Each structure stands twice: as C-alpha cells, then as structure tokens.
Structure 1
C-alpha cells in the first residue's frame, strides 16, 4: 500500500471541526476528529470490533508552547461476549496552565480468576462476569515548573451484576466484594510530563503519582487507601532514524478494607505483555519494562523489542528478586498519521509458560 493511499484512507475518516476558522487564521491549531471502524486483539478480549475515535485539539489562543490535547473514545464488542466504552483523556488548557486528565469506562467484562497471590496454579482457572462503571477526573494546575502539575480529583468505581460459578473457587473463598462493590474516593495527584508527544513519545519524562482515600461517606462500600506510581523515560537513541529507548516503572499499593475490584491485576496489553490480565492478583504490584523502538527512514514501518519483569504481593515488603516473573517480546509498527506520529501496533509477548499477541492503536506506554 502506497503512502498516498494510506493518507487518502486516513483523510476519509478525518474531520476538521474548525477547518474554516483555521484557514482564516494560521495561528489556530487545525483540530482533528478521527473516527473509524477498528478491531483489536488481546488474550483478555479475543478479537474486538467496533468504533474508535480520537479528538486532537488545542484551545484557541494556544501556540507551539501548548501540546496537543488527546480525547480518545472506544466502543467495542468482543468475541468473548464483552462490550466496553472507554476514554482515557489528557487535556491541556492554554499555555498548559492546567491539565485535565482521567478515565471513563463502562463495560461488561468476563474475567478469568485463578485465586489470590503470586503462585496460583493455571488449573484453578474459572470465569466470572460483572458490569463496571468507572469515572475518574483529575484537575492539575501548573506549579513551580513548566512541566510540573499538582492537583486533585475523585474516583468512582461501581461493580455490579456479578455472576460466578456457584461451585467454583470464588464461591468457596468469597473474597471481599466478590458480589459487587462501590469505591468512592478523593485523590491527590502530582504529574510531571515533559514528553513532546502524548501519542508516541520520543523524548522526555513522565511521572504520575496519585493517592486516594476511599470511604463510605459518599456511598462507598469499603474504606481503604490506594496509591499508584507511573514513571516513564524516553531517550532518542538515533536522531537519524528517530530510534527510541523507552522505560517504564509502575507500582500500585493498597491498604485497608479492599474490595476485589481494587486489587492489582498482573498482565495485559500495556505492561507485562505475555501474561493474561489478572493471571496473578494481590494487593500490591511492582513492574518494570523497557522497549527499543526501531524506525526506518522514508518508511511507515518500524519494529520493537521489549522485556520486563514484575510480581504481585500481599505486602510489598515481601519483595524478593528470585520471585520476579519475566516477560519479553517483539512487535511491528505501522505509522497511520505522520503528523501526530500515531502508530498501529502488533506485539507478541511471552512470559513463564504463557504468551499472547496484541493488536491495537498507539504504543503500550
């Protein structure tokens, strides 16, 4: 497929909400709304079909000093009889004085369960079904430094219409919240983000810290604390080919009367690829991964190699190097939009006695 054909297909699915205004005023960012049929694959969902959309924009009055805001939306149905509506957004106001980020999710998501802990056997596998509605907006103000933002938000996570095997492991163990739960909490957050691009970073640092306190005052069913850390660094290895070495460290810690839905789920399409999401489950999680992204001059194609390790713990103080679980894999990339540097992604990941392949849009991290 020629580059011209790819661009023509992309343009067919692209709308420009402020096209006329941008043509009259060259200082305005030409907003893009890209909507198209999409299909993806991961071990958790099997093949998924639906509609994907990305709204890329800047507020009027924003120049080169303001990065492009990203508001994606995905609506899909999977061959595992799942459906999900999801948006993970990051919006910059003029001159990046504020950042508004967060998640919105509604899904019916059958999940596989193996028990709690880092040594659960594959033979224990069973399926349970539930509906989930999650909303998490966070508002952060630029403070002290160009790329440093501090703020707060709230998180609401409702699990309902659960279905389990009456003779299965969940029915026997009855983990807290197995029959549904509602988590309502206030979060404080710190964000440092010096990436030049949100969709496919080639340089810079990203660090996000959130700490939430959850209770029953606003209708929650459990009282607990939840802390998350996400540290990433991107290093441009070769300016000639725009090769990138990417690194991520992710951690999640929780304490208190924790419902099952708020436990740490090991594996997935973004970190610890090769393990099914939720293959191992416990209160705390530590994971690290690195990825080399090779790009080719005058080509839309690229390849990646990645490796990582991690584990889950009832308490992170149990950490031991010898118990870390490895993962590694390779992938291919195809550049859909050279202006926004948006890639189509295909990865094959391997873990301890397990593997999986992943097909989707945008990088894993």
Structure 2
C-alpha cells in the first residue's frame, strides 16, 4: 500500500493534548481558571468598550490561534487561524451571528495559503453577503480524469491561485429565503509540472494556467439556528455561473452548484444532533482543469485527498451523528458518506460509488457561540486522513 497523506492543523496550542480530560472536574466546575485563561488569551474583543457602554450592542469576537500543519507535499507549515464573529450595530436576537474565518500559512517548502470564506448578515437579515477569497501557492496530486484512475499515475504539480467570489443576496418572500447574484474570478498561474509527466501528457485544457471570469445567480434558504454549529434547521444554496472570454477569462463554460443540509435536534438535553448534507456540482462547456469537480476535502468525503478523482460532475452525501458529553466541553462525532465524480451525472452508476466513514473528537472553544475545535479521522477506499480545525465540517 502506498504511503497515505496525513494532514494536521494544530490549533490553540494543541488543545487536545494540554487540556486535562478529567470528567469529574469538568462536571463540577463549568469553566476552570485554566480554560478561561486559555480562551481569553486567544480571544480579542474589537468593540469591547462600546459593548460595555451599551448592552444592546453585540460583543464582537476575534478568536485567533497558531496553526501548525504537515503533509508530504508541503512539509511543515506555520501560520495563524482565526474566526471573526460579529453583528452590525442595531442587530438584535433576530439577526444571526456573522462569520468570517481567516487562515494564513507559510510552509518550509516556500508555499503560502491565505483564505477567508465568509457569511455576513446585515441588520434584521435583510441582506446576506457570502463568498470566498483565496490566494495560495500549493501543490495538488494528479491521477488523470475519471473515477477509476490508478494510484500508479500519481504526480504532483504546483500552481498559484487567486479566487475572488462575493455574492450579494436579498431577503425575499419569506424570513429565510435570499435571492441575489455575484461575480467569480478564479485565475491559475505559475504552474510547475513534471516534464513529460502525466499532467503534460494528458494536456487537459488549462493544465498550464487559466482564468475563469463570470457572473453568478444565486438562491439561499437558511433556517439554521446557529451558523457555526447548527442543531436544527435547513440550508439550501444554489448557484449558477456563466463564464466568458469577454469578461477577461480564457474559457467559456457554465458551472452549477447545489449544497443541501438538514439538522435534527435529537435530544436538546443531551445535545445530540443528526446532520445530513448533499452536494452536487456540474460544469459544461470549454472548462479548464481548475474548474473540474475535485473529489475529497476536509468538509465532505473526508478521508480522500482533495483531487484524488477528477471529472466534470460530482455527487456526494454524508450523515453525521454529533454528541456532547453532558455539560462538559467535550464531544464526539461519527460520520458516513458516499460519492463519486462523473463525465455526466446521468451516467452515474452504483458500482463506482466510493464510501467514506470516520470518527472525531470535539472540544467547545466558545460555549456562547457553540464554536467547536474539531479533530476528525476519515477513511476511504485504501486511504485515511486526519483533519483538525475550528468549526464543523458542515
């Protein structure tokens, strides 16, 4: 069996190691002085003085911690991971907390990674602003196109990527429905491949660089009670983008994405939650390599390295059981999923579907925001990976 990638993000000074797992002490004392001090050390309050003067103002939180990661492709990486949680002045209980994660890393192989995926609610949730900002110089492994590519074709290639995708959605018709539009700009450059290797041999359009520039329409239904770690509600996001050379892109194509989630509060007393997710992605036209559907990630199909299988379309689903141990900060999860990539979704076959499963530990970093630190161990067909980060996978 080939060596498997183990990717770790150690946040909050490896809190799973330094915090004592003492069940009796945790139950008798809700927050020990050590935990409080540790939490406060990594938490900043940008509007603390204003919130002290006016109790109606939400106390904003910026939670930051060191990030250490390792994988064979990157060597050791060092950086900072953070979550910015806030509400605009004038927002009350009817407005959910806005979430803006920020991650910045630099590796010993002179690679870098800067990312923010945000979801911002304006006052009374009249508008939602969501999207992604990504700037990275990171490697991927390439095995070819299709859902049955062999391990023997494994080849690493490096590239630099800049992605900018803001979407503006207005509340319409009902409390939780938002409709809007946005833009998406995704450029790949500085590609470094193995001379005469699989990437150059297959020569998929855009393998040596590309730019996707287009406009998107979007619809969002979001009735989750808590954005970072929902215990009940629905989430459905649909986006469809048209990409043109006239807008500065190198390719003309369209991209459709669907993300459906549902959360069931099985036992409010015991904090047991059952969560479901379905993801679909389809691209048509003259799409470059960077816009194909990449199978595997730290969010869905955990256990498979991102890009282990690549094709135009992707279907994947997962279910996760989440349990918290009494009133302590500790919890655990078990998850199970399945998915695959296809040339065309209507050609999907049950025989090729790939399973994944795994378990995880949780430690509640912020009880008021239900914000967890998660450690997951995911397994696929002949592969496994570890994931450690802030907030749930979905």
Give TM-score scaled by structure 2 length. 0.90
Aligned mates of 1:269, 1:131 — CA distance in 2: 20
**Equivalent residue for 1:354?**
383
Out of 89, 92, 106, the position equivalent to 1:63 is: 92
Out of 120, 139, 142, the position equivalent to 2:149 is: 120
**Equivalent residue for 1:195?**
224
**Equivalent residue for 2:8?**
none
In the alignment, is residue 86 of structure 1 matched against residue 125 of structure 2?
no
Aligned mates of 1:44, 1:284 — CA distance in 2: 26
Shift of 1:47: 5.3
The correspondence of residues 129-278 of structure 1 with structure 2, limited to 5 A, is 129-278=158-307
* Moved beyond 4 Å, runs of 4+: 40-47
SS of the residue corresponding to residue 241 of structure 2 reads strand
**Equivalent residue for 1:326?**
355
Out of 319, 324, 330, the position equivalent to 1:301 is: 330
SS of the residue corresponding to residue 109 of structure 1 reads strand
Shift of 1:39: 2.9
CA contact under 8 A between 1:82 and 1:109: conserved in structure 2? yes
Out of 43, 49, 53, the position equivalent to 1:24 is: 53
Larger CA deviation: 11-20 vs 78-87? 78-87
Out of 308, 321, 324, the position equivalent to 1:279 is: 308
Shift of 1:114: 0.2
Larger CA deviation: 246-255 vs 318-327? 318-327
Aligned mates of 1:256, 1:152 — CA distance in 2: 21
Larger CA deviation: 350-359 vs 262-271? 350-359
Aligned mates of 2:49, 2:384 — CA distance in 1: 49
- 334 and 267 in structure 1: CA distance in 2 versus 1, 3 angstrom threshold: same
CA deviation vs aligned residue, 1:216-238 (integer Å, no higher than 9, x gap): 11210000000000000011111
Aligned mates of 1:332, 1:136 — CA distance in 2: 32
CA contact under 8 A between 1:41 and 1:360: conserved in structure 2? no
CA deviation vs aligned residue, 1:290-348 (integer Å, no higher than 9, x gap): 00001111211111100100000011111112221100111111111111111111111
Aligned mates of 1:20, 1:323 — CA distance in 2: 58
Shift of 1:77: 2.4
Larger CA deviation: 25-34 vs 202-211? 25-34
Shift of 1:44: 7.2
Gaps of 5+ in 1: none
SS of the residue corresponding to residue 217 of structure 1 reads helix
Aligned mates of 1:44, 1:142 — CA distance in 2: 43
CA contact under 8 A between 1:36 and 1:51: conserved in structure 2? yes
How many residues align? The count is 365
Larger CA deviation: 354-363 vs 109-118? 354-363
**Equivalent residue for 1:15?**
44
**Equivalent residue for 1:75?**
104
CA deviation vs aligned residue, 1:51-104 (integer Å, no higher than 9, x gap): 122211111111000001111111012466532100000000000000000000
SS of the residue corresponding to residue 110 of structure 1 reads strand
Aligned-residue Cα RMSD (Å) equals: 1.4
CA contact under 8 A between 1:42 and 1:357: conserved in structure 2? no
Give TM-score scaled by structure 1 length. 0.97
Out of 48, 60, 82, the position equivalent to 1:53 is: 82
Aligned mates of 1:247, 1:80 — CA distance in 2: 38
Aligned mates of 2:178, 2:75 — CA distance in 1: 38
Aligned mates of 1:321, 1:245 — CA distance in 2: 25
Gaps of 5+ in 2: 1-18, 21-30
- 166 and 113 in structure 1: CA distance in 2 versus 1, 3 angstrom threshold: same
